[in-house]
Amino acid sequence: MKRVLLDIEEGITRVALVEEGKLVELYYETMREESLVGNVYAGRVDNVIPNLQACFVEIGSEKKGYLYYGNQRAASDGEKNPARPKVGDTLVVQVEKDAVGTKGAVLTQIISYPGKFLVLLNEDGEIGVSRKITDQTERERIRGIVESFLPKAYGAVVRTNAAGKTEEDFKKEIHILLEKAKGVANGQYRKAPALLLKQSVPVEKAVRDFYREEIDQFVVNNQEIYTQLLDTGDFNGERQPSLFLYQEKLPLFESFFVESQSQRALDEKVWLKSGGFLVIEETEACVVIDVNSGKAAGKGDLEKTILKTNLEAVQEVAKQLRLRNLSGIIIVDFIDMTTEENRNNVTKALEKAVEKDRIKTVVVGMTQLGLMQLTRKKTRPSLSKQMTTKCRQCHGQGRMPSIDWTVIQMRREVESILANTIYQKVIVQADERLLSAFRGYENEYLHKITKSLGGTVICEGKADLRFSQFQIVKEK
């Protein structure tokens, strides 16, 4: 069974894709670090750089967004670009990539409105159909239906999960997306900067991205969100996934055995069944994955052992790309192979393995040094960057669990103790700043947990504990 788990708590939303009990994808968002990708703004041009055919746009976020407005990067400064904006101009822009480090968000003027079956574009163009829909008759059927409902001023990209959908399904979705587009068009004259359309709500994104026939069930632990999703009419119908409201005392992720799997998703070393292992390291420039033979070395024919280990590593690499959301340039250092045939077999196996990834992943091939090159589209920060922060004590050379991730672990441990053991009093010891986040705004989390599980939760400040450390004392 394939499930999407929506774990919604005070200020934090976690989303997990689970296939046959195995954690496949995981991401979470907080109110403080919410993704802006997909949001549409009326932005004010702050600075224009003609040489780069780009400008910086104020959208109301901490850093100004970067917009490339040119058609050809080779165009010289002497050429006049009729699309060149001026300082002070108001532009309707959409966030394509979130801000990272010192860089602001990447913006685009081609506004897209994603749905479950297709993506509507605010430009006149062809109707594209996902390559994963291979049946030519089905491709033509879908293209004809979409073309009949789509105004000339718009284009569309049909998603993979549109296969088999009826004319009424497409009509309903296109109508909803066109209404969003009209709302944006009506708001373009607002004083900039202004948010025109918010498309980055974690729960909505999860349902939209994961909604397909292969998903059997969506599970949510929040009554309000459950009601909202039920009202959409996207669940419990024929060929639709079911929607289940989780109301048990045991934490949602723990109940589905996902909590421990999420903890291991940050391990630098990943073991293979054969005895080999992967070492995964993220750098500012790229992601490096090293394949090692480990305990598998020296068993029988060496070349066959190496090929077997590399082919096993291929499957694990593809899994880790999805689970950790590794993106950008990815270098995989497989164990050296002596024959071209074996190298080709590994390349083809990797190309097939990444086909399951809903994020566009391209296997570029091996370099002369035997390093496999991949690229994976950046959609949000990697799991490591979401769950950890730079360690201040080692001057940025290492990382430590983020405050949000630490709070999640504290809350889950407290809930598990009160729900599953005889202990009715829990003392949480940590740095005062961490305890403040744990309690929630105006102690909202403490009130909620006491009401739902009973028992007593006491917070006790401990100055000798580091910022990411905590201790839990149980009493009957």
DSSP 8-state secondary structure symbol assigned to residue 295 = G
Encoded amino acid at 141, one letter: R
CATH class of residue range 40-109: mainly beta
| Among candidate residues 319, 392, 409, 322, the one with its CA nearest the CA of residue 358 | 322
Per-residue pLDDT of the chain (476 residues; tens, 9 = 90+): 899 999 987 778 888 999 999 999 988 777 656 778 889 999 999 999 988 899 999 998 888 999 998 864 434 444 455 578 999 999 999 998 888 777 889 999 989 998 888 999 988 778 899 888 889 999 999 999 999 999 888 999 998 878 888 899 899 999 999 999 988 887 777 888 999 988 867 777 777 778 766 788 999 998 988 888 888 777 866 777 889 999 988 889 989 998 888 888 888 899 999 888 999 998 878 999 999 988 766 555 788 889 999 999 999 999 999 999 999 999 999 999 888 999 999 999 999 999 888 888 999 998 878 899 999 988 777 888 877 776 665 545 566 777 888 888 888 889 888 888 888 899 999 988 889 889 888 888 888 888 888 888 999 998 888 777 899 998 88
Tokens of 180: 């969003």
Encoded amino acid at 87, one letter: V
**230 half-sphere exposure, CB direction, 13 A CA radius:** 11
Residue 54 near residue 412 (C-beta atoms within 8 A): no
- Whose tokens are 């990209």? That residue is 157
| Among candidate residues 344, 340, 291, the one with its CA nearest the CA of residue 313 | 291
Specify the pLDDT at position 344.
93
Architecture of domain 1-35+202-260: 2-Layer Sandwich (3.30)
- The secondary element (H helix, E strand) that includes residue 413 is helix 403-420
CATH class of residue range 403-475: alpha beta
CA angle 224, 229, 231 (to 5 degrees): 95
Q: What are the CA-CA distances from residue 18 to residues 24, 218, 230, 357 (Å)?
A: 6, 10, 21, 14
| Among candidate residues 305, 318, 371, the one with its CA nearest the CA of residue 349 | 318
Output phi, psi for 125, to 5 deg.
Answer: -165, 180
- The sheet with strand 127-129 has its strands ordered as 112-114, 118-121, 155-158, 127-129
Specify the pLDDT at position 201.
72
DSSP 8-state secondary structure symbol assigned to residue 129 = E
Structural domain spans, the chain: 1-35+202-260, 40-109, 265-376, 403-475
Q: Is CATH 1.10.3470 the right assignment for the domain spanning 265-376?
A: no
Specify the pLDDT at position 75.
42
Tokens of 238: 């024929």
Distance CA 313, CA 290 (A): 10
| Among candidate residues 60, 436, 58, 86, the one with its CA nearest the CA of residue 69 | 86
Distance CA 135, CA 219 (A): 32
The alpha carbons of the chain give a radius of gyration, in whole angstroms, of 25
Q: What is the pLDDT of residues 160-199, one digit of tens each?
A: 878 888 899 899 999 999 999 988 887 777 888 999 988 8
Q: What is the pLDDT of residues 109-159, one digit of tens each?
A: 989 998 888 999 988 778 899 888 889 999 999 999 999 999 888 999 998
